[in-house]
Amino acid sequence: MLKLIASLEQQNIPTFVTENNGADGAAEAIRKQFPQVSLLESPANLGGCGGFNCAALAALSSGCEHLIFIDDDAFPEADCIAQLTDFLDTHPEYIFAAPSIYISSQPDTLQEAGGGVNFNRTNPVEAWYRFQVNPDLPPILDIDYASACCLMVRADALRTMGVLDWAYFIFSDDVDLCLRLRKTFHKKGACLTNAKAFHDFPWAKPFAPMRLYFFQRNGLRLIANHRAKGELKSLFIALMRLSRRIFYSALVGDVEIKQTLVCAFKDAWQGKFGNWDSWITFAKNRTQLNAHFFKQHAVKRILIDISIEDFEADILRSLKTLHSSATVDILCDEHRASSHQDNPSYTQVFTRKVGFIKPLCILPRLLQQKYDLVITDATMEARRPSAMCGKQAAIFHNDALYLAASHPYIAAVAHLISLPIGLLAASFTLHHFRKPFPAGTPPTEAGELLKTIGINPEVGQPYARLKPDD
């Protein structure tokens, strides 16, 4: 964050920072190194949404013409903000603009270049050009939304319409904001692909149930609030997938996934948004594998069923730390096979296909290999049946291996029957989500901070300023 603030200071950009009750000393460092920065210290974690809102409300009170949201783990190139400002100054038909976002750890790879939203699709929100390497893109893309990790908006639009919906807390709040801006002002959004920012891609971080919870709960809110009256497909599919994942994860023993998804569905059903009050810690009740485990179970053959390849090197390093001398094979997506075949770490490379039935086709062949241990990385999804094709199974999380259930046949059956169960559950629950949710309001923890900004803490919007005698 300090590097980001220094860059903004060099560009003479007034900076407003919300310190979200952090314990890393960031607030003290900002006060010491950047006394001119407007630092807003929250007594509680208000989430990305609440943190952005407090800083945005303070910035809007200063009379700015444009406002740019920037995550603390994002970094725009030196000319990025100037490009966005010049574009909005010369293109009145656009209400917001964003740069192309590249992944910090893989700076030639796109995280996204804005995205599209279509509620007639099974996946209504689509990040464009994700994971493309040095893509050749047109200089301007008309987009439906952009990530708030780096997003510039006309300040007057926010003063009139309002800031982010407080209900989201984190995730999907930026999509919601962009859709409301375009609908309210009948203007477009743009991605300037020659303007660049870099961001720590969140899905390459160690799995946290928190991300899964907000992604699922807020996804239902987004669809319910923005779909057209007759657009039920995306809502039905979202409910079907969520129900199916709950049933499947329960049967295969991925308890953290199941508990998180149940909380997401329950809270969305009850209209309970904002922060999550039942946080689940991954691997809290799991057995961590050590060197003794490998000796005790005579682990000689290992399969890595990889989902997020950023963790592949970490898994191999963990095996070396545990003094494992086992041979290692890998199972990966079909299009990634060539990148593994020349890797001396692996004896064999297996590939899986996408689809409903195709992922099961590799299971008999893997069972014939008689693996002693199958390792998969913890992700936003429950483990595939292929992740349970050995005598023992483990989940890699945060540089450690944790014991997991290994029931490949139960998993295969659960994979098949979870689909009709999900369809049935969606049919019974669809009617409940057809009505939009009301706009969110600030949590009580934000009250004093909002008062210092001069905003009514019960509303939390720029048009709800406190009167001098309030």
Same domain, yes or no, for 234 and 369? no
The answer to whether residue 460 sits within a structural domain is no
How high is the mean pLDDT of the chain?
94
Same domain, yes or no, for 408 and 420? no
Same domain, yes or no, for 242 and 390? no
For the segment 121-165, what is each residue's pLDDT rounded down to a tens digit? 888 999 999 989 999 999 999 999 999 999 999 999 999 999 999
Residues 6+ away with beta carbon under 8 Å from 182 = 95, 144, 188, 189
Provide the β-strand partners of residue 327.
Answer: 301
Give the per-residue pLDDT at 363: 96
Same domain, yes or no, for 241 and 299? no
DSSP string covering 13-36, please? ---EEEEES-SSSHHHHHHHH-TT
How far is CA 218 from its chain centroid? 11
Domain total of the chain: 3
Question: Do residues 189 and 91 lie in contact, with contact meaning Cβ atoms separated by under 8 Å?
Answer: no
Cα separation of 450 and 104, whole Å?
Answer: 33
pLDDT exceeds 70 at position 282: yes
The answer to whether residue 396 sits within a structural domain is yes
Spell out a b/e string for 415-439, using b for 16 or more CB atoms within 10 Å of the CB, else e.
beebeebbeebbeebeeebeeebee
Same domain, yes or no, for 173 and 247? no
Range of the domain at 95: 2-204+441-453
- What CATH number corresponds to the domain at position 296? 3.40.50
Percentage of the residues of the chain whose pLDDT score is greater than 70 = 98
Percentage of the residues of the chain whose pLDDT score is greater than 90 = 83
Question: Do residues 293 and 462 lie in contact, with contact meaning Cβ atoms separated by under 8 Å?
Answer: no
pLDDT exceeds 90 at position 88: yes
Same domain, yes or no, for 216 and 175? no
Give the per-residue pLDDT at 365: 96
Same domain, yes or no, for 93 and 122? yes
Model confidence at 186, in pLDDT bands (50, 70, 90)? very high
Same domain, yes or no, for 182 and 221? no
Spell out a b/e string for 318-346, using b for 16 or more CB atoms within 10 Å of the CB, else e.
bbeebebebebbbbbeeeeeeebeeeebb
The answer to whether residue 468 sits within a structural domain is no
Give the per-residue pLDDT at 204: 62
Q: How far is CA 382 from CA 169, 179, 355, in A?
A: 24, 31, 16
Question: Do residues 332 and 315 lie in contact, with contact meaning Cβ atoms separated by under 8 Å?
Answer: no
Sign of the C-alpha dihedral computed for residues 322, 326, 332 and 337 taken in this order? positive
Extract the tokens encoding 341: 């075949």
Cα separation of 203 and 212, whole Å?
Answer: 10
Q: How far is CA 358 from CA 26, 69, 244, 255, 330, in A?
A: 49, 42, 18, 25, 18
Same domain, yes or no, for 170 and 214? no
Give the per-residue pLDDT at 470: 62
The answer to whether residue 285 sits within a structural domain is no
The answer to whether residue 97 sits within a structural domain is yes
Cα separation of 228 and 352, whole Å?
Answer: 37
Cα separation of 140 and 131, whole Å?
Answer: 19
Q: How far is CA 209 from CA 31, 278, 280, 393, 422, in A?
A: 33, 11, 6, 20, 21
Extract the tokens encoding 223: 């669809």
Cα separation of 252 and 339, whole Å?
Answer: 30
pLDDT exceeds 70 at position 402: yes
Same domain, yes or no, for 99 and 197? yes
Cα separation of 84 and 97, whole Å?
Answer: 6
Same domain, yes or no, for 32 and 171? yes
For the segment 368-394, what is each residue's pLDDT rounded down to a tens digit? 999 999 999 988 889 999 999 999 999
